[in-house]
Amino acid sequence: MIEDAFDGGLNFSVVCRVIKTPVKADLISGHNLTLQTEMLQKQYFQVLVAVVTSNESGNTTDDAIKLLDSTEQKGLVKVREAHQEWWDSFWKQSFVRLADDYVENIYYLRRYLMGSSSRGRYLVPFNGGLWVWNHDHRQWVTPHHWNT
Render pLDDT for 83-132 as a digit per residue (tens, 0 to 9).
Answer: 999 999 999 998 889 999 999 999 998 889 888 888 877 777 777 677 77
Mean pLDDT check: name the lowest of 38-42, 61-65, 79-83, 144-148.
Answer: 144-148
**9 inside domain:** yes
Residue 143 is assigned to a structural domain of this protein: no
Could you please report the per-residue DSSP string of 56-101? T-SSHHHHHHHHHHHHHHH-HHHHHHHHHHHHHHHHHT-----S-H
Domain assignment of residue 15, given as a range: 2-74
Residue 17, domain member (yes or no): yes
How many other C-beta atoms lie within 10 A of the C-beta of residue 41?
4
In a domain, 57, yes or no: yes
Domain annotation covers residue 100:
no
- Whether 102 is covered by a domain: the verdict is no
Q: How many whole angstroms separate alpha carbon 89 and alpha carbon 103?
A: 23
> CA quadruple 140, 143, 146, 148: dihedral positive or negative?
negative
Instruction: Give the number of domains in the chain.
Output: 1
Establish if 13 belongs to a structural domain.
yes
Instruction: List, in sequence order, every beta strand (DSSP E) within 23-66.
Output: 24-29, 32-36, 46-53
Inside any domain, residue 106: no
With 0.75 as the threshold, say if the pTM is over it: no
In tens, the pLDDT along 23-49 reads 888 888 877 888 888 888 888 889 999
